[in-house]
Amino acid sequence: MDSKQSASSNPAQLGIAEAATIRVVGEPRVFNRHTLKQHLIRPQEIVWLPHMVHLYQPGRATNPLMEPMTGKEFLGYATRGGHVLTAHFCDYLEDHPDMFFEDWRQPVGSNPGVRGTFRMVHFCGTVFLDKYGHDAIKTLFWDFEDKKLTAIFTSLNGRFFSDDFAASPRSY
């Protein structure tokens, strides 16, 4: 955080105890034989507060009746709009599941008596290669059945639906 930080983004001045400044150090964790391919943006530092980050979803992905987007289309929309956080933030949240916002834990499309699907939160600022050489990004979801946060790699060769969102810094 630079010295020009505004008072409104200072967690102590906001009286919010659960805020954290997430500093990027080293490389993100990899597992299941994935390797780091590239960071699409320079790894950044962010104050983790609901008004500082949000979930972004391209317009076409919001409609479950539309044809699903490809992973590369989803990534393209997210990166063009600056709606990207690196996989470092995925790692941080996996280590600190209490920092995963409550509204991000809610299932998508849930109605009274009907359980929705997991809300998939993608971290599009870092691209990995899977064991077959295909591009993938890190994803978190709140498993409401097991009551835990789960990290996975999502192939960009797959389809992205109305339950797919990109974690994004807010721009003002």
What are the structural domain ranges in the chain? 28-107+118-169
pTM: 0.81
Residue in the block written with tokens 């690196």: 86
Q: Report the pLDDT averaged over residues 68-80.
A: 91
Residue in the block written with tokens 């955080």: 1
For the ranges 7-16, 23-32, 41-50, 141-150, the lowest mean pLDDT is seen at: 7-16
Q: Report the pLDDT averaged over residues 143-171.
A: 89
Higher per-residue confidence, 18 vs 163: 163
Higher per-residue confidence, 129 vs 105: 129
pLDDT at 137: 97
pLDDT at 26: 80
Q: Report the pLDDT averaged over residues 27-50.
A: 86
